[in-house]
Amino acid sequence: MNNPELIFRTKVRHPLATRLRRAGRVDRRRWQMAVWSAATMAMCGVLSGCITVNAPSKPIVIELNINIKQEVVYRLAADAGKTIQNNKDIF
């Protein structure tokens, strides 16, 4: 007859269960902190999402020569100058 109670008690008093419960208390604090930080991050996300970006009034100039290196330009300058001198009809 007492068998179920006994089983219950033994279950509650089981050292592993106690350990888990104690650990649970610590975990709850951690969990709360995690929830708060997540909420803060979510708010930040929401706020940053609210920033409006206006279209620029000036036309966007696409810089096609952005990948041209200065050292290459310096290397080619003398030869390019000669080429211009030798092809005056097209320059």
Partner 1 sequence: MLTRMSRMAVASLVCGGALAVLVPAAMADGRDPAYAAARARGEVGEKMDGYLGLSGPGNATLKRLVDDLNLRRKAVYTEHAQAQYATVEDYAFTSGCNLIAATVPGEKYQGPDGVWHERTRAAPLRDARCP
H or E element that contains 35: helix 15-49
Spatial distance between the Cα atoms of 28 and 22, rounded to a whole number of angstroms: 10
2 near partner 1 (CB under 8 A): no
Spatial distance between the Cα atoms of 48 and 32, rounded to a whole number of angstroms: 24
Q: Please, which residue, 48 or 74, has the CB nearer to partner 1?
A: 74
- The token pair that represents 13 in the structure block: 């008093």
- In whole angstroms, how close is the CB of 88 to partner 1 at the nearest point? 4
- Taking CB under 8 A as the criterion, the residue among 12, 35, 39, 80 binding partner 1 is 80
Spatial distance between the Cα atoms of 72 and 87, rounded to a whole number of angstroms: 22
Spatial distance between the Cα atoms of 55 and 77, rounded to a whole number of angstroms: 39
Determine the size of the site formed for partner 1 (CB under 8 A).
Answer: 22
10 near partner 1 (CB under 8 A): no
Site string for partner 1, 43-72 (x = CB under 8 A): ------------------x--xx--xxx-x
- Taking CB under 8 A as the criterion, the residue among 10, 18, 32, 83 binding partner 1 is 83
